[in-house]
Structure 1
């Protein structure tokens, strides 16, 4: 029987291999095969699905991966390939939405995220297709519509009439067709809202028109979509940072070079750097626009001494000493790219940002470590050498970099914390972000990590559940974590919740006159906890095991 199965498996393998080889299109015929497949899909969508020939052709010519997948389903032969395609499509209709979404510029690997559930044909729902056709008819490049769809799907639930009416109103403000297209691709939400322009969008486009006039756009921009899109995306960076600020628009008009000399990537990078100070986004926009020279500053590679940098910013010696005493984990060296979080870790971010904003931005470029040995920590250097010899060197260096990014300096404390935190750098960042999003101040999170590094070993959902329990059922505030940071390291289901509820029950029943702190309730060992219950009344431990303790706790006590 085994030999029969083996023989069958070999035959099937050989058959599959032969079939795969037979279907492989020779290199010299690949262009021919793709062209015929595109033509077959065009004809299929036009004649069978009643799409206009232009739109059918757009879909077929811009869905390269879907076309290749179709080709691989057929045996290739030059004389019969066109006929094979038509026959295949007659009996095996394609998922038209799959071809469509790839054709409008959505990466094929992401297409499945956008496919409508249980719908394969445009006849089942033409809403998205009709919107795309309307936009294309106005002049939007077909293969750029995916940018709109991914960012603002509501654009594609509007009727063609609403879209056309809205687009014409932008032209009425004074924009050319190409300018409207480029600007709307950069700011997709401008296309939402039906045929009438709301006051916010109208105001935005009026300001944009004034700005482009100041830029002398007729001579500055090439009259093509890509040119307008590139400039509009740069303007959007500042619009997203502070659209209500009139000074910002005036500064943009006076700093034309900012939008011509620097790439969108460079502008985004600088904006993100200063946003990490945790200040108002509007102030970040104004800092860059008032001081465009900042764009030339290298804020990534320079190494800083934290205490040296603080003195450079004008802090007195006693202030530096106070920082060193309260936040010793930030001391030592770090990189300038981590400065915003270093300052947040010591609660000086707003003060230093104000110094930069008020005409002292040059301080970022004028600092340098004077002494090669300045602020070098021997314990850190020794720990770093040990890491270099580990098999997990890369993994540990990435985690160490994460600690530096959140403000920990190159010092022994950072190395000690590193020994206790587990997970990848990305996982640690996610857990840190959960704490930050919960409302805990940045500097306090760093203090918590210094006191109880294993906080960062907890899963994000576990951290959220424990914080919710602390502030909800326990009725305490997040500030209590400063008293008992290890709270987050205990198991909620098996430790925190049952013990707290039992303690609450004892108090409510008048069996315990003493009210214990959360730390005393949670951190006490199981043996000491049971002994405490026995001291209240010999029968209480039995009630604990029967009513409140879970199986895991009971098993642990029995085994001990």
Structure 2
């Protein structure tokens, strides 16, 4: 039976996929209720509030008393057309140095001799910006009461309860509503009410989706409202539905109807479905259910059963369906990026979809680096403990995993082999095996020491030959290598002298200091040749150095002893 229901569900999804409209760029979240801001709050006006009040009073008097507009119409136009009012103030006050107390008089005088295009403040008062209503301005009329058809439909909407500052959406989406013949709008309202749509609900719907007033009765609207009333309980009535219709959203009742029909196939128990919608109304109302339809389709493709999908919606986190779906997609991408088999990915999603949709996982490249693991080991970590993935959420500090012995050994051997191959050794040759014994340290450490010597000022080719001739020079830290090079240069020898005598770096610093210090003293006393080779000074044995050089001066041996005592005591 479950298999049959799943087959029906898959068929149903493919059938309705084309009905899902492109979602808006600002998805609707049930938890993010905010009051609409007036147009004035979105503008940056430089005139003080007192000046603006005086200007509004003058404009109200002109529209109501002089132009005979209904008081409510005139009052709404004065209070909700800040761009238009600002333009008049700029024209009047910039020409004359007018005190705040004389603003009303100046504006009244200006309006007496400069009739305005009343359609401008009218359209702005409905919630439209100037750039939005420019194309709506009639070419052959300036006075709003001259357009009797427009005003009749406008007043019909007002009398029914549609807020004046919400009618801008009707002008944008369904301007033909204002061209209906007398009585057409009233009959449309009556048709909806006769089908069970409450007037307060219809008012809210019109503000969000004016297209319900175009053409015949939108039966999807009627069906959605009936289904929701039935599922959540008649006692909640229309008030609950109106609360879910947020001002910043729009409603596609065709998509909402498809979603409700699909959810009825997911939930065999209507009571459970009603409880789910009551607890998580955003499932249905967020972007008219577009994301919920996408989520169900995604979960079905991953092999989740109907019961599993039903549980996910019942326990849905309060983060919105779009965010939940986005998190799931990121987890799926992560598991694919670390080369996990499709069957294993399906198993994890079937058992942990609710968990993975509740947090945003970091990118695989970031995790591989932060965790200090390879793809194979990361796959095993996920398979052994899927719940552990929530520790890798965006914003959480990642602690690297310690390398196991096998991985560490393989990594060390690989890096060392890579380094030796870069020196010119042949892979699997006897030479590289011998070099493995001569070079102590990890491959990355050897490479670091090699690069350090190159960066000291030597050619890469020369350094390679130096290393081959004296491999032991890389068995010391970069700090020690740096100290010996600095001492050599400070003693007046060029860095290039290491090319012919690379083993210089293998000798202890004390030996080098003692030999060069003694040689300098002997050279100053004209006992030795002034240009002895560096290798001659450092490499010969102590006995030979004493016999050939030190003992050639009567005080030589005593100086040698003094230097030796001083240098070795500094260690």
Q: Which has the higher contact order (CA 8 A, sep 6+)?
A: 2
Question: What's the TM-score bracket when you normalise by the shorter of the two chains?
Answer: 0.3 to 0.5
TM-score scaled by length of structure 1: 0.44
The structure with more radius of gyration: 2
TM-score scaled by length of structure 2: 0.43
